[in-house]
Amino acid sequence: MRIYTKFRIVFGIVLLYVMQGCTSILGLPAEKEKSMMGEITPYTTELRNLPLPKEKIVIGVYKFRDQTGQYKPSENGNNWSTAVPQGTTTILIKALEDSRWFTPIERENIANLLNERQIIRSTRQEYLKDVDKNSQALPPLLYAGTLLEGGVISYDSNIMTGGIGARYFGIGASTQYRQDRITIYLRAVSTLNGEILKTVYVSKTILSTSINGSFFKYVDTERLLEAEVGVTQNEPIQMAVTDAIEKAVKSLIVEGIRDKIWGKAVDVPAKYQQIVDEYNAEQKISNNRLIGNKYPTNDRQNVSIFGQIEANKIKGDYVSPKTTVGGKLGVKYFFADNFNLEANANVFTLENENIISKTYVATEVNLEYLIIPKFKLSPYVYAGLGSMFSTDKARYKGQIGGGLEYLVQKNLGLRLSSQYDLGFTDDWDGFVNGQRKDQNLRFALGINFYIGKK
């Protein structure tokens, strides 16, 4: 008994060391880290690489705040921490500095600045009475020709969630993800007449992912072995806000160049034409984007030709049906974005082992519904009527089916589908028995080629 107890103690110590080693393998911090300089986003580099203006623009930011009023979600009671960082004005000023297009001036805490200048004046008047009065005057404050206004106007949680997992004989793994979204608006206002010169709108998704694995097994009737491993990664909110603000600053600069807002700061328009063209191309793509960073496509034209290979299996009156291979060719005509009429011809064989094998040539007419036609990946369902021809006589049926279509290239879709044929008679296999009509189950893989004009 003592030997068994010592073994458990040793096993526990070894297991602790193994777990500590696993933290390093998984990229988890195993020891304290030193303070480090803040990370930069991809747009920080883009801001710093912008072509310089002829002269900088003096700009003021009084307040660029979180306008959502949203608190962090909590599973245990109330959480009074805000979902969005409260230092967004500071982040915006840093982005303006990085762009090298602006000279930001202090306006967020202007009262502190004015109070300190008053202290300087009072001190000089009281203790420097014999000094020349002209030396006591402070230089004037800079004033801004343009003000920046706006803020974080939306923080949407769980706009997209999902996951996948599997478990077999006590061994399992799963992964989950969650996507939030933050939205900001930034506008430039002229201090000369109060005109709003330009407004830009930027959104940024925030991704959280989790990967877990587990092992659960009875070693014998009294011993249980269980192990777990997992990693969760959450995109920092502060980095997401910084990314969105820097993107907004770049958009404001480029749209200002394009629309000739910045005046004398843009000396040679041709100097900036490349970044304007790149921005216009990005904006054209973004105009078609849907929620969740999904980009709809118009590649599906009004006519398509398709072909597919099918696996068939009869559900008739005989036992031991065999799976056979057939094919289908057809054409589709879209009379609406979601709906099309389909006509096809197909060949398949119905076979029962050592009993019957009969080949049919069939024609079908279907009405198909494409559920999300503006996405590259779209599920679809269809139903219709068909006729079947063999060496003896014609037979008729109905069919229902569905599947997925993914546009792998422009105008070329890959389709994975299944279909269920419902017979109107019970003699597909040459044998009539019972009340149920003969049926056929198909699984297919094919391509769909779109032609014509939208």
Concatenating the DSSP letter of every residue in 232-250 gives: EEE--HHHHHHHHHHHHHH
What is the distance between the alpha carbons of residues 351 and 358, in angstroms, rounded to a whole number?
Answer: 6
Q: Which residues of 270-301 are buried (b: 16+ CB within 10 A; e: fewer)?
A: eebeebeeebeeeeeeeeeeeeeeeeeeeebe
Using alpha carbons, list the distances in angstroms from residue 366 to 71, 325, 454: 51, 22, 21
Which amino acid is located at 436 in the chain?
R
How do the pLDDT tens digits run along the chain, 454 residues long?
A: 455 555 555 555 555 555 555 555 555 565 677 887 888 888 888 888 888 888 888 999 998 888 887 777 766 665 677 888 888 889 999 999 998 999 999 988 888 988 988 998 888 877 766 555 555 678 888 888 899 999 998 888 888 787 778 777 778 888 888 888 889 999 999 998 888 999 999 988 888 888 888 877 777 777 777 778 888 888 888 898 999 999 999 999 999 888 888 888 887 778 888 888 888 888 888 877 776 666 666 668 889 999 999 998 888 777 778 888 999 999 999 988 889 999 999 998 888 777 778 888 999 999 999 988 878 888 999 999 999 988 888 889 999 999 999 988 878 899 999 999 888 888 777 777 766 788 888 999 999 999 876 5
Choose the CATH number for 303-451 among 3.90.120.10, 3.30.300.130, 2.40.160.20, 3.20.20.150. 2.40.160.20
Q: Cβ atoms within 10 A of the Cβ of 29, count?
A: 8
Phi, psi of 85 (to 5 degrees): -55, 145
Helix-then-strand count for the chain, H and E: 6, 16
What is the distance between the alpha carbons of residues 413 and 185, in angstroms, rounded to a whole number?
Answer: 38
pLDDT of residue 292: 61
CB 329 within 8 A of CB 346: yes
Strands 321-322 vs 339-352: parallel, antiparallel or unpaired: antiparallel
The tokens for 259 are 């629309």
Secondary structure element (H or E) that encloses residue 124, with its range: helix 110-127
Of 85, 29, 68, 43, which Cα lies nearest the Cα of 236?
A: 85
Unique residue bearing structure tokens 């559900």:
315
pLDDT of residue 12: 56
Using alpha carbons, list the distances in angstroms from residue 54 to 146, 264, 274: 17, 7, 17
What is the distance between the alpha carbons of residues 172 and 121, in angstroms, rounded to a whole number?
Answer: 73
pLDDT of residue 415: 94
Which amino acid is located at 339 in the chain?
F
DSSP code string of 7-23: HHHHHHHHHHHHHHHHH
> 258 by DSSP, 3-state: which?
helix
Using alpha carbons, list the distances in angstroms from residue 182 to 67, 157, 187, 188, 239: 11, 9, 17, 21, 11
pLDDT of residue 216: 78
Which amino acid is located at 124 in the chain?
R
The residues with which 173 forms a beta bridge, in sequence order, are 166, 213
Secondary structure element (H or E) that encloses residue 278, with its range: helix 273-286
The tokens for 257 are 């160049």
Unique residue bearing structure tokens 């036609």:
373
Q: How many residues does the chain have?
A: 454
Q: What share of the chain is helix, strand, coil (3-state, %, to 5)?
A: 25, 45, 30
**CA angle, 357 then 361 then 362, to 5°:** 120
